[in-house]
Structure 1
Amino acid sequence: MSEARRKAAPSRARQKKHWALRVLGWLAALFFLGVIGAAATFFIGYQTTDIPDPNKAFQTNTTTVYYADGKTELGTFFEQNRRTVPLAKIPKTVQDAVVAAEDRTFWTNPGISPSGMARAAFNIARGQQLQGGSTITQQYVKIMYLTQERNLSRKFSELFIATKLSRQTDKKEILEGYLNTIYFGEGAYGVAAAGDAYFSEPDPARLTVDEAAFLATVLNNPSYFDPDKPEAQKRILERYRYVLDGMRQTGTISDATYAKSSKKLPPLDKKDRGGRYAGTKGFLLDMARKELERLGIPDDEISGGGLRVVTTFDFGLQSKAVAAGVKRLPKKKNDLHVGIASVKPGTGELVAMYGGPDFLKNQLNWATLRARPGSSFKPFAVAAALKDGRDLYDVYQGDSPIEVQGQELGNEFNRDYGDVTLLKATEQSVNTAFYDLVDNQMENGPAKLVDAAEAAGIPKTQALERGRNNPATVLGPDPYASPVEMANAYATFAAGGMYAPVHTIKTVKTAAGTMRWNAADKLKPTQMIDKEVAKLVNYALQDVVQKGTGEDAKELGRPVAGKTGTAGGVAVEHRAEFAKEGDDCKDCTDTLTSWWTGYTPELSTSVLYRAGKTGESDLDPYSSDPAFFGGNWPVKTWLAYMEPALAGQAETEFDEPDPDSIKNTPTFTPTQTPTSLPTQTPTQTPTNKPTNKPTQTPTNTPTKTRPTKTRETPTWPTIPTGEPTETNTPQTPGNQGPGSQ
């Protein structure tokens, strides 16, 4: 190698190193320029930002809730309750509890939190909602000096004002203002109002350590830490212990006090809700408020942000639903409950709901609490079968019993129907035919049934997911759905398979008129069930009305489709008795739920009957029929609502399915007709019913005695449901009592 070439190599290496150093230099220069620029920007912002006059007239603005027309007022969420007290009258335990919960460096920080600023910047970069107002000073500034708008400009103003306020104002003054203005939930602004709201103690000086820690817990997010929500109990206790631990670390409480107080939450002594929730409309307001929370609107803004909320509830239809729920009931009414929900197909709008007579007397909403659906679940099996390539004229076993996974499952009253088509099985709600379809004939039938139910709109729950491996899923032994959810799922069929999420909020506007939420833009219908499948389901469910278990619904005088459903089990008043005797009640089946969900192309409405304080008592004593059938009182109540609801509207036909799919091509002839009917067959049959129709369809004609109801299948293992009204309820999947009705 030449001398010249040997000398050239080091030159290139030095050149590369030279360029690397230059790049590093430029990066360092850019970094320092960024730091200087940021500092300069903050300094300029700090110098040019003045602390505005405090909002001395601070008060919440009424949030008004309207019916669907946007004009008729449903109610308000204005719940302002505030009383100012000087810091000297707020004990140190209360002050320290709030500091431990919200800002442990409050007494030493400059009014802002660098980590909070970094978190806010990170959220902005990810396109998420602005957060990071973590210091007490920043929160106080947001309340007293700024609006609730969450944008970058407001965030910078908050930082500048908080920094300047912290330098110019005594920390004790800031804490006093904060403790008298922060929202604690329950309409309470300030610690004095909060103590009164949660513990009926208006004097902060008399709050215990436990009570002070609890108030400091809920103020962080009153909706998320709402003690009225069962699902919030664990997270409330965890944060409550976090607050107590902070108090221990600062020396406010001893280790012994922490050990004693952290065991459980203090007992609440809450005041009754205001009269604005009285009567039936309280259920509507409560449901609307919960949906606003799910939309991410802060609790204090819901209570006092001056929002204009338009719901989906139709004033006229709501009045008709209330009238039906109050007036069209059996004569015996004590502890009898009815839930009514009505949904507009294709939109998901809940236009009417009856959850009970008075929200203030009983907050259990019978239209939103889930219950055993019984045979109301069979339409989803029809949809699953059709999707699986089967048709309405495939033949299944209608005799009772049928063997499934080594278990004998049967029809109501052990009736035999012979071989039946899927269409006939749906019409007469033949249990064994559906067991044959789902468990014997379809591969992974229960799972396909669950898929169809969820596609239609039944929420995905643990109980429903367990049904993927349960041979009794077709009769819905667990609390899978509420009337609201069932009405919306059937509305999917009515809309040709188009699913839309059920909702109660149409629009939300701020006090300034800015659109905060618009359901029409956010909740778009989706084709979840094949259109032809939906048409065939509608066709089959119209047969239920024309000549099946829901025949009385023909009185509506227009095209109607629907399905009855009753679910059996052991009533709550009988469980202890049989458990004590070691008897699993194989010779008895109480009726626990009774359904009728019927729909037209314009409206889908579900009616559910339950009994007892928890909804787990026997329904049968309320009816003179062999059982509290879905085709009787639920249909009557449904008609009492639907007839006036659709009065004056043009009659609309369901879309016809492909003619080839509804031709009765099989050549078989059923070999048996229903047998073993109860001897107390109703004596009065409407004249428009076919004379050769099986007489098991219930009517309201009293019978002198009831036939003995027998359990056709063994008891299956108990499965906890997690529902508030399903405490330790024995599950009997194979036997739904009068499940075929």
Structure 2
Amino acid sequence: MKLVARFLFFFFLWTLSVMASPAYKEKLLPDFASVVYDRNGKIIGFFYKGQFRLYASYKEFPEALVDAVITAEDERFFEHKGIDPLGILRAAVTDLAKGKIVQGGSTITQQLAKLIYLSPKRTIERKLKELALARKLEEELTKEEILELYLNYVYLSNGAYGVKAAAWVLFGKSSLRELTTAQCALLAGIIRGPEYYNPFKHPERALKRRNFILRKMLRNGYITREEYEKAIREPLTPLKRPNRPRVAGYELDLVKFEIARKGIVPYDSIYTAGYRIKTTIDERAQRFAQKVLTRYAKRYAEEHELDDLQCAGMAINTKGEVLFVVGGTDYRESKLNRAFQTLRPIGSTAKPFTYLTAFQNGWSPLDFISNEQIEMPTGQIDEETGEEIIWRPENYSKRFTPFIQVRKALMKSVNVATIHLAMNFPQKIRKNLIKFELIKRSDPFDLSYVLGSFSSNLYRIVRAYSAIQGDGVLKEPFVISWVKDRHGRTIYRGSPTLKIVSDSQSIELLRSILQDVVKEGTARSISYLTNWFDVAGKTGTTNEYRDTYFTGFTTSFVMSIWFGRDSYKTMWERATGGGVAAPPWGVIARKLCKLYGCGQFEPSYDEIVKNYPLPIHFPEREMEELYYDELINSLREDEEGIVTISPEKTLGG
């Protein structure tokens, strides 16, 4: 038996000598969770698998924590060479008296060796291995490195491994420097029996153990009598229950999506490498938006007896930084993130890009376009009748008129007029939809696309509308500001990808009409916002009222909101973007403006309208400028906003 033990002793010494290297400590470190912060430095989640452990370097340990741990576990730690003969002798006497191994007499270095390499089973063989390993650890590491490893390995109850994870779980502290002397003593005391001294399950035991450590610290001169008296009166923990690490959520899913898409770090390493990930998310806005959208979704569902109504929302600031992302009513019930993981038709959300194309090609908001019914053969045969299918786009009002002014057609979201306008330059519209990254170059294209028949999502929509807000400069949304490794070294910095997609003059014309959409158009339900700041946007509703959108912007942000059913069924008759999506958009917009401030667009609405280009497209034939005022005065507007020609001024009159 002695020969075997001696062989094992020298075998492990040889093994460790082979393993020794300048990066020895780094190789011994366990896996660590990555911490995710919002833009204000608030922890919003963690990425980890298995044990919840947060990396802490020795320099992060407060002096009181080191003193408490040394007091509790190994008073001669800084004096011995990994093995404490006095401790072993004391343990041996106890073991002989009991007739079995009941007390290890282990130093912190021995405990570390056991944590890294060995099982907790108490045997003579394991003890010999532990001694060999402890001696080698002392040879390769400084005392500070040993203590750093130890305090990153130890289990401290409630699923927390290592002192930094325990500080967050037990006390809600994200920095070890925030720990009080009493809290340091409690952590040190828990090491001996994590579940036995669990402060939430066994507070009396934990308190007794903590106070015992504090008395020893006083006796050993680590704390003064005044510090001791203060610590002894302190509650065990300020928390009613232990913190549970949040590992998933709609905004956290977007963070993981961006890491994978951009290859910022190896994807699996986010669960093991202990990164610090700073995001652009504002958790205040995130929580508020989730609350508002969920509340509206539940109210709509109750009113219309729906059991699968969902919501989604996303906002970016003027830099392209994502402020919040909501993917559904409740992440616990559905983890599908409808803001960027699904594709659905976007309806009239797409219309502004047809009108922008018109302005880029010399049209004025004051021009006129036809609003007469369209019938187009599709080339497809109806299987039941054997006849060719004819496409007949409808207006929401179910009415048609000879003509409508361009700005009114967009302001009131008139389908047929938009089709008539699009027929002037369909391929140029297609190129714009590609440039604004709403569709791909390989996607098919037909005139129904100008009405938003193609599928997209909120991520793409806010990206496209960022160029309307930003004078023709499109910004790729991003959610990661920077990533640091566990030692604080910056390994990635996020920044927007900018692309010029339009001239600013055409964008200004479009923006002025999108302001009219809010003031007196299809989104007038949120016109009250214009009492405080400028707002522009566009509603969107898809066939059979399956989807409703409102996408709008202020001087500070672009935000898109969606409501629909996962079953793709009709929500309810007359469910529109203006009536369903716009109201919660307005509530969230006020919150964002309180957080970030919102002002007036430049140039101003009045300045843009005053300088609208003279119209060149009149009913049926070109008219000289002297007839323009007379024509405008003869127009009247019906309740749906459709402009018609008065009887005495009909064509040819």
TM-score range, shorter chain: 0.5 to 0.7
Task: Give runs of aligned pairs for residues 473-552 of structure 1, distance below 5 A.
Answer: 473-479=449-455, 481-520=456-495, 523-552=496-525
| 2:571 partner amino acid | L
Equivalent residue runs for 1:95-134 within 5 Å:
none
Within 1, Cα distance between the matches of 2:289 and 2:357? 32
Of 35, 43, 46 in structure 2, the residue corresponding to residue 73 of structure 1 is 43
Distance change >3 Å, CA 397–CA 490, structure 1 → 2: same
Partners of 2:613 and 2:483 in 1: how far apart? 50
Pick closer, same or farther for the CA change 1:54–1:471 going to 2, 3 Å.
same
Contact 1:80 1:304 in 2 (8 A): no
Give yes or no for contact 2:354–2:429 (8 Å, CA) kept in 1: yes
- Aligned to 1:64, what secondary structure does the other structure show? strand
Seen in structure 2, the aligned counterparts of structure 1 residues 294 and 599 have a Cα distance that, compared at 3 Å, is same
Secondary structure of 2:44's counterpart equals strand
Report the counterpart of residue 285 of structure 1 in structure 2.
252
Q: How far apart in 2 are the matches of 1:275 and 1:555?
A: 41
Gapped regions of structure 1 (runs ≥ 5) = 1-48, 83-143, 145-273, 569-589, 621-625, 675-691, 697-741
1:662 to 595, 612, 623: 612
| Corresponding position of 2:640 | 694
User: C-alpha distance in 1, partners of 2:556/2:357?
Assistant: 24
The structure number with the bigger radius of gyration is 2
Give the residue type in structure 1 aligned to 2:466.
A
TM-score scaled by structure 1?
0.50
Moved over 6 A (4+): 670-674
Displacement, 1:510? 1.3
**Unpaired segments ≥5 residues, structure 2:** 1-17, 53-115, 117-242, 379-389, 617-627, 643-653
2:301 to 329, 332, 335: 332
CA RMSD of aligned residues (A): 3.0
Q: CA offsets per residue over residues 333-363 of structure 1, 9 Å max, x none? A: 5211111111112x11110111123334212
Conserved 8 A contact 2:536-2:553: yes
* Residue 276 of structure 1: how far off its partner (Å): 4.8
- Assess, with a 3 A threshold, how the Cα gap between structure 1 residues 428 and 597 changes in structure 2: closer, same or farther: same
1:282–1:358 Cα contact (<8 Å) kept: no
Shift of 1:422: 1.5
Structure 2: which amino acid aligns with 1:602?
S
Seen in structure 2, the aligned counterparts of structure 1 residues 461 and 328 have a Cα distance that, compared at 3 Å, is farther
Residues 75, 276 of structure 1: 8 Å contact kept? yes
What displacement does 1:400 show? 2.9
Change over 3 Å in CA distance of 1:489–1:615 after alignment to 2: farther
Q: Which amino acid aligns with 1:324?
A: V
Q: Distance in 1 between matches of 2:362 and 2:615?
A: 15
Tell me how far 1:471 sits from its aligned partner.
1.5
Cα 1:461–1:371 change in 2 (3 A) is farther
Distance 1:640 1:532 in 2: 31
Match status 1:642 vs 2:586: no
* Cross-structure match for 1:449: 429
Percentage of pairs with the same residue = 21
Among 562, 565, 579, which residue is 1:608 paired with? 562
One-letter identity of the residue aligned with 1:498: V
1:379 to 2:359 alignment: no
Distance 1:56 1:377, change over 3 A: closer
1:389 positional shift: 2.5
Aligned residue number for residue 334 of structure 2: 362
- Helix, strand or coil at the partner of 1:68: coil
Partner in structure 2 of residue 471 of structure 1: 447
| Cα deviation, residue 302, structure 1 | 1.0
Q: Is the 8 A contact 1:277 1:283 kept in 2?
A: no
Distance change (3 Å), C-alpha of 1:600 and 1:524: same
Corresponding residue for residue 397 of structure 1:
370
2:275 is matched with 307
5 Å matches for 1:716-735? none
Q: Which amino acid aligns with 2:473?
A: M
SS in 2 for 1:655: coil
C-alpha displacement at 1:485, in angstroms?
Answer: 2.0
| 1:553, distance to aligned residue in structure 2 (A) | 1.8
Distance apart, 1:317 and its partner CA:
1.5
Contact 2:294 2:330 in 1 (8 A): no
- Could you tell me which of 440, 450, 460 is aligned with 1:460? 440
Select 1:415's aligned residue among 399, 402, 414. Answer: 399
Pairing of 1:669-680 with structure 2 (within 5 A):
669=632
Which amino acid in the other structure matches residue 641 of structure 1?
I
Could you tell me whether the CA contact under 8 Å between 2:550 and 2:585 is conserved in 1?
yes
Letter in structure 2 aligned against 1:507 = W
Partner letter of residue 497 of structure 1? Answer: G
Q: Is the 8 A contact 2:311 2:329 kept in 1?
A: no
1:636 and 1:449, CA in 2 relative to 1: closer, same or farther beyond 3 A?
A: same
Q: TM-score, normalised by structure 2?
A: 0.57
The equivalent of 2:287 in structure 1 is 319
Q: SS state of the match for residue 545, structure 2?
A: strand
Alignment of 1:707-722 (within 5 A): none
Instruction: Name 2:361's counterpart in structure 1.
Output: 388
- Distance between the aligned counterparts of 1:399 and 1:277, measured in 2? 56
Q: Deviations over 1:9-44 (max 9, x none)?
A: xxxxxxxxxxxxxxxxxxxxxxxxxxxxxxxxxxxx
User: Would the alpha carbon gap of residues 499 and 458 (structure 1) be closer, same or farther in structure 2, given more than 3 Å must change?
Assistant: same
Q: Which amino acid aligns with 2:434?
A: E
Aligned to 1:328, what secondary structure does the other structure show?
A: helix
Q: Provide the secondary structure at the position in 1 that maps to 2:578.
A: coil
